Amino acid sequence: MRIDLHTHTWRCRHATGTVAEYVLAARVAGLDVIGLTDHAPLPPGLDPEACYAMPAEEFETHLAEMADAADAARAPGDPKVLVGIEADWLPGHPGHVEGLLSRDDFDVVLGSVHMLDGWAFDDPDLLDSWESRSVEAVWREYFSAVADAAASGMYDVIAHPDLVKKFGHRPAEEPVALYEDVATELARTGVAIEVSSAGLRKPVGEIYPGPSLLRTLCRAGVPATTSSDAHRPHEVGIGLDEVRVALAAAGYDRVVYFEGRERREVPL
Ligand code: ZN
Ligand code: FE
Ligand code: FE
Ligand code: ZN
């Protein structure tokens, strides 16, 4: 099955394309499943330039648009359209994400660590902040936040599980102990991870997660899904072949997707 579980629309203000254009792109790309997972509204103050996520006042409209698109795509040969959301892990804002998710509209909820203590470490405009920090310490904080996000019970999938490498900042040695710890925690909580082609289009030039982490996750029994993290309709399904090869190389022979927040497992 060809699954792209992670895509964005114009709603978040840093992607382009409407819900309808993404569904059309999924059909053209021959996908079986597309997840519409735009960035959930952030608490006031965390998105000063209003370009990280959809505005809170558009949340309901966006949910209705996704539901309509899912209803409309029911003909034979249509991709299955999943109503989803990518929600930040925000331990400094207890209740915010829980509030957004406390409804049964969603097929799938992606959990993402894009911020550590309010610092959006993946924002190219904030790259300077890396210079005053220890890469080892940032990586430790990042993976500990991923483990906390998984343990929160709010998410079905951890998105781009090693996003911290986006710009190529890496510890001198591959932190295998961190990988083991996060894999153990993910396996314990039953949360899946995505294998995403987005990293191929970023300075790091590598799939999220990298081969060593992905092998560790597979050995630990952590379920995996596939995604592009498309921010333009023409990116839907992009890099899925590379992603599937990476999964197979790491030892995976099955992948998962979600409907009504229930996990479905299918052969890779
Ligand atoms: Zn985005
Ligand atoms: Fe993300
Ligand atoms: Fe995303
Ligand atoms: Zn993303």
- In sequence order, what E strands does 61-191 have? 80-88, 108-112, 115-116, 119-120, 157-158
SS3 of residue 37 by DSSP? coil
SS3 of residue 25 by DSSP? helix
Q: Summarize pLDDT for 208-267 with one digit per residue, the tens.
A: 999 999 999 999 999 999 999 999 999 999 999 999 999 999 999 999 999 999 999 999
Q: Which residues of 41-58 are buried (b: 16+ CB within 10 A; e: fewer)?
A: bbeeebbeeeebbbeeee
Amino acid at 150: A
Nearest to 17 by CA among 34, 42, 2, 33: 34
How many A from CA of 92 to the centre of ligand 2? 18
Least confident of 73-77, 178-182, 208-212: 73-77
How many A from CA of 105 to the centre of ligand 3? 19
How many A from CA of 17 to the centre of ligand 2? 17
Q: Residue 118 burial (CB < 10 Å; 0-12/13-18/19+)?
A: exposed
Q: Record the tokens describing residue 113, joined without a space.
A: 């660590």
d(CA 8, CA 39): 7
How many A from CA of 216 to the centre of ligand 4? 22
Phi, psi of 216 (to 5 degrees): -65, -40
* CB-CB contact of 3 with 226 (8 Å): yes
- The pLDDT value recorded for residue 103 is 85
What are 80's strand-pairing partners?
A: 33
- The pLDDT value recorded for residue 48 is 87
Q: Summarize pLDDT for 92-150 with one digit per residue, the tens.
A: 998 999 999 988 899 999 999 999 998 999 999 999 999 999 999 999 999 999 999 99
Walk me through the domains of the chain, giving residue ranges and CATH numbers.
3-267 (3.20.20.140)
User: What radius of gyration, in Å, describes the C-alpha atoms of the chain?
Assistant: 17
- The pLDDT value recorded for residue 190 is 97
d(CA 204, CA 224): 21
How many A from CA of 229 to the centre of ligand 4? 5
* CB-CB contact of 143 with 135 (8 Å): no
How many A from CA of 136 to the centre of ligand 3? 25
How many A from CA of 174 to the centre of ligand 1? 27
Q: Summarize pLDDT for 5-51 with one digit per residue, the tens.
A: 999 999 999 999 999 999 999 999 999 999 999 999 999 889 989 99
pLDDT above 90 for 71: yes
Q: Record the tokens describing residue 90, joined without a space.
A: 């925000």
How many A from CA of 7 to the centre of ligand 1? 8
How many A from CA of 140 to the centre of ligand 1? 23
How many A from CA of 37 to the centre of ligand 1? 10
State mean pLDDT over 65-73. Answer: 96
- In the structure, ligand 2 is a single-atom ion and the residues with CB under 5 Å from it are 112
How many A from CA of 76 to the centre of ligand 1? 31
Q: Record the tokens describing residue 250, joined without a space.
A: 């790491």
Which-ligand-closest: CA of 89? 2
